[in-house]
Structure 1
């Protein structure tokens, strides 16, 4: 197994286990055995668990933001903001939805893992910047971002995908109010 194949298997396993169980509950041996990668190769790919966590989050960030942008981009521009919340509802309805991997990771590790905290902040900054573009203004984008984050936390805690619908209704109210200014 070459380095790239091992890295991909390790990241696949890490994502599955970290997201389902939490980072601190999953040891490197579980990643090794779940991936079928030797311990030596694991540490060649990721010298420390924090390196693996950061890589897992970066890969998840790229996939998550790409999926959101593709969904929203397929909608008419006037429907872009509501589409964000339609996409969220679909995500919240997935069987393996466990909330936001970035919030969960920061909640577990916080500032004690500065590299992870940096990746989490970068993700949140990129999402906020994207929503500012979708909304057409920084102020409205920041408000949409707050609704997205709140809905995600609520859905993660309660298991209720309807949090996206309530946030969508609030976002539509904000969009209407912004258009009358």
Structure 2
């Protein structure tokens, strides 16, 4: 796999025991101003947001009409919801995508534009990983043991990834690990690893 001009980037919150579900229940105390600014910048760097129906319904209840820069950017960005059952998406700038997920996303990547961002990691995220369509995976590790579903569910097709960047997270206690598929990572220059903060 090679990194296309338009990449699929997936950020995810994950506990130290690998849980990725319901992060609001366990990541909240560590999500401070630094993380908020980081999330805003990542969103601004992209011009499309991919999500499944479950993530869409959570976001569509929370963000329309919410105050702040992040909410404004989220409401403004083009959103693509992959669902065979959702009849109508009322959130602004949202398109419902039906049919073959891999073909639809591959077509999006072939068009000119900035990177595409994927939120949530349910069936959609796993499908895109297995299809080799995710170009960058950023794990924001939260220093808690959490109870819930693992971020990567049983049945994920094995694949080799390379650590592209590692460093402290945007807020105290967090660590950020960025991975790229091994073949893709060999074709880009790796940035210098950031020094670990002294404790």
TM-score category (smaller protein): under 0.3
The structure richer in strand per residue is: 2
Return the TM-score normalized by structure 1: 0.26
Larger radius of gyration: 1
The structure richer in helix per residue is: 1
